[in-house]
Amino acid sequence: MVHYVELPGDRRYPVVIESLAALPAWLERVGLRHGRLLLVTDENIARLHLEPLRAALEAAGWTPRVLVLPPGEPTKALPYLERIYDEALRWGIDRRTPVLAFGGGVIGDLAGFAAATLLRGLPLVQVPTTLIAQVDSAIGGKTGINHARGKNLIGAFHQPVLVFADPSLLQTLPVREWTSGLAEVVKHALIGDPALFALLEERWADVMQRDAALLPELISQAVAVKIRVVMQDEREAGLRAILNFGHTFGHAIERVAGYGHFTHGEAVALGMLAALWLSHRRHPDLPVDRIRTLLQRLPVPGSPDTLDFEALREAMQVDKKALAGRLRFVLLRRVGEAYVADDVTEAELRDAWQFVLESHRATVTS
């Protein structure tokens, strides 16, 4: 399966859903010449999948320089960005040297930002290995690192020349990482595809079991939502903001709990519950029970009860999605249609957070 992202200025790149063995042929197809290639990955992916990829690249005439970094959100920070800079410059890259990000969202964002800034821009190839990266973060050109003040506050838009997603790589994901990625699939269904929402409702057991026959179609449908939004709003000037459904609360939850306490997907799942309450308050016809039931199927270990609401509210104020001090929330008019609201009151925020806590308790006790 192949989708294409088409952008202004005759820019175009493929999103390929295929076996990793086909990657070298696709590198050539997008115009990358054989030669040096900077491959950035993490220790977990290196242990599981690096050698077959390295062998395939070398057999196709590439000379990969591999940089293996620690896994996890703390790696998405300035010290590790500097490690990539040091390795690349020591090796003697030039502006034709591709950067291949082989990993999940952390590696994709970090290596992508390195590609955006080294020599004022290197070709970027995204080879995402997690569900959340395959359907969301690897597509659309958003790259960056975290700062002590919040997530993704330092970054750049830098579109890849190729996104290559192999569904079989997802079979080795830990269960928690798999369900974290499903939160983004659910998000895409809610903001842009009622048919995907119905598929998730009807085939949830198969989805949780990572049915090999279902995965390519699941990924393809979720990818199509992301691509459709990116093509209409590359730089997040308007429509693309709907991809942040659940993220205003979600990023605040991650920050207040401490990065790594909840996965990104778990935090977004909680954030989507808050956004659901705010949406239903404005649109009473929204099928809140169906949506809540689907969101409650996403397991969130731990207890959000311990998070202080005032700390969450303060964290939301410094979120990059805030505009002139006003919080912006992505809300639903109906399944498949989302919009941005900036009229949410503090009282509504408190009530939405109570809805999150009640929904989570109901999941834990059921």
Which of 188, 251, 280, 360 is catalytic? The answer is 251
Give yes or no: 226 in active site.
yes
340 is in an annotated binding site: no
Which of 49, 255, 264, 292 is catalytic? The answer is 264
Which of 49, 76, 158, 247 is catalytic? The answer is 247
Single-letter residue type at 23: L
Which of 49, 226, 280, 328 is catalytic? The answer is 226
Would you give the end-to-end CA distance of the chain in angstroms? 39
- What is d(CA 137, CA 200) in angstroms, rounded to the nearest whole number? 20
- SS3 (DSSP) at 18: coil
151 is in an annotated binding site: yes
Give yes or no: 34 in active site.
no
- Return the DSSP state at 136: I
142 is in an annotated binding site: yes
184 is in an annotated binding site: yes
Give yes or no: 149 in active site.
no
Give yes or no: 83 in active site.
no
CA angle 112, 114, 115 (to 5 degrees): 65
106 is in an annotated binding site: yes
Give yes or no: 251 in active site.
yes
Give yes or no: 142 in active site.
yes
Which of 146, 158, 234, 236 is catalytic? The answer is 236
Which of 76, 142, 280, 292 is catalytic? The answer is 142
305 is in an annotated binding site: no
Give yes or no: 120 in active site.
yes
- What is d(CA 120, CA 341) in angstroms, rounded to the nearest whole number? 36
109 is in an annotated binding site: yes
Give yes or no: 28 in active site.
no
Which of 44, 146, 152, 244 is catalytic? The answer is 244
105 is in an annotated binding site: yes
321 is in an annotated binding site: no
258 is in an annotated binding site: no
Which of 76, 240, 255, 280 is catalytic? The answer is 240
Which of 177, 184, 234, 266 is catalytic? The answer is 184
Strands 162-165 and 124-128: what pairing? parallel
Place of tokens 């311990």: 306
Q: Angle, to 10 degrees, between the axis of helix 175-192 and the axis of helix 264-282? A: 30
107 is in an annotated binding site: yes
Going by the annotation, the residues of the binding site for Zn(2+) are 184, 247, 264
Going by the annotation, the residues of the binding site are 105-109, 129-130, 142, 151, 184, 247, 264
Write out the catalytic residue numbers.
120, 142, 184, 226, 236, 240, 244, 247, 251, 264
Going by the annotation, the residues of the binding site for NAD(+) are 105-109, 129-130, 142, 151
